[in-house]
Amino acid sequence: MARLWRTRKPTTFREKVRYKMLRDHRDLIVTFADKAAVRDHVASVIGERYLPRAYAIVDDPRALAAMEWPDAYVVKPTHGSGAAIVVSPTAPADARLPESRWGWVYRHVRPERVTPQALAAIAEGWLAKLYGRGPNHEWVYGRMPRRVIVEELLAGADGAIPDDYKFFVFHGRCAFIQVDSGRFGTRTQDFYRPDGSRVPMSGGPPWADPERPLPAHLGEMVRLAERLGAETDFVRVDLYDVDGRIVFGELTSFPAGGDSPFDPEEFNTEFGRPWTVPRRYR
């Protein structure tokens, strides 16, 4: 909690995220962060058709050995962020699974490089970890069961991983959109307002060059994000555009654990401006 003391009168986005981390302990926030439980929440708010297909949700990784595996899929823990094994024929030929003890990573590998036993060992390592023990301590991950989910791989007709659209929703209104491309290649990141105008800032990765066109149904994506964020003061809603199909990704209440980078730094204040944090969360 060392960094959270500067939250009594938060003004910037990072300060408000830290304030929320310290004070917002509602069950709703736990549901948002739980990659299994959030599926029921999303289905009730916007409908099942926006969910990726789930092949399995298991408490015991040994159950993975009995699965019938599709040609492409994603395996990830439900109680954390930043870990996933993506399996598809389009992965680099030399890519390998990580050692189980170093398994909290993103890795894209081909089916022939994977065995159920290796996946189970990595998953056992995931379930042994209490995620979110960094400087700001994301308490939410300690309040959910530790499970493993196997989902469909979201990929376009060309086999490419789709762009990730992250909608910053404050009090039910989207103010900013982050677009991440090239997760397993040359990563780029761009920021926009809901009207499609570019925000001249960087969050670390370079801008796409040339600039990528926004989806024709961006307005529908914004509306869905706003419906998913209507019950809280702030949430980042991640959606994918898969050849015109809108698919839910995740809900994030504490982006970057309260350490989101902004360049220029003035956008730290700009991103915090639409957000009025409550004195007390109920």
Q: Which of 242, 31, 244 is nearest to 151 (CA)?
A: 242
Least confident of 4-13, 213-222, 265-274: 4-13
Checking if the pLDDT of 185 tops 90, the result is no
Q: How confident is the model at residue 135 (pLDDT cuts 50, 70, 90)?
A: low
Checking if the pLDDT of 3 tops 60, the result is no
Checking if the pLDDT of 227 tops 70, the result is yes
The percent of residues above 70 in pLDDT, for the chain, comes to 96
User: To 5 degrees, how large is the angle CA 237–CA 182–CA 110?
Assistant: 105
Q: Tell me: cis bond preceding 210? Omega within 30 of 0 counts.
A: yes
User: What's this model's pTM, rounded to 2 decimal places?
Assistant: 0.93
pLDDT tens-digit series, residues 245-276: 999 999 999 999 999 999 999 999 999 999 99
- The Cα 168–Cα 193 span in angstroms is 10
The pLDDT of residue 158 is 78
Checking if the pLDDT of 180 tops 60, the result is yes
Checking if the pLDDT of 175 tops 70, the result is yes
- The Cα 167–Cα 254 span in angstroms is 13
Q: What is the mean pLDDT of the chain?
A: 92
Q: Pick 38 or 82 by higher pLDDT.
A: 38
The percent of residues above 90 in pLDDT, for the chain, comes to 82
CA distances in angstroms from 54 to 4, 64, 251, 254, listed in the order given:
36, 13, 17, 25
The pLDDT of residue 134 is 57
Checking if the pLDDT of 201 tops 70, the result is yes
Checking if the pLDDT of 1 tops 60, the result is no
Domains delineated in the chain: 1-51+159-282 (3.30.470), 53-153 (no CATH)
